[in-house]
Amino acid sequence: MDPVLFNTMLQPGALKDKVIVVTGGGTGLGKSMSQMFLQLGAKVVITSRKLEVLEQTAQELQTLTNGEVFAVACDVRDYRQVEELLQKSVERFGRVDALLNNAAGNFVSPTERLSPKAFDVVVDIVLKGTYNCVLTFGKYWIDNKIPATVMSIVTTYAETGSAFV
């Protein structure tokens, strides 16, 4: 991370001790945002379906930031797994302050060649997965009167139906 760029953003410590759950946190945008959250003082729970990738990412992020990272395998399409994700996160850090819905399913294929099953996978991860996470974490925050933040990264194909989903 470029320290000059970093210093022009939020103040150091802006997220001190906040606990943020990042779905799709093992790679790409989720990994990069997790790194920034850690640099700003947050504790981060990264999740995806692939535990090996998560553990490698957690190790890398801890080394880069000296922050606290907890890797939890979770398929956001499965409501029970999302409930377990919340439970494990609260057990580890005592609470959750924010949720970043970043999990996505993609197939490099023109839309006309995308099978109905592949389309279902994409929609289930992006739409149903986001719903499962917001519902689970939202109930927890409401029941415990915890002010919280949700950010959802959505894809343009949800709006445009573009090729190469």
The helix/strand/coil state of 17 is coil
User: CA angle 103-151-143, nearest 5°?
Assistant: 100
22, 34 contact by CB (below 8 A)? yes
Report the b/e string of 113-147 with b at 16+ CB within 10 A. ebeeeebebbbbbbeebbbbbeebbeebbeeeeee
Asked if 104 contacts 126 with a C-beta cutoff of 8 angstroms, the reply is yes
User: Which are the catalytic amino acids?
Assistant: 157
3-state secondary structure 40-86: CCCEEEEEECCHHHHHHHHHHHHHHHCCCEEEEECCCCCHHHHHHHH
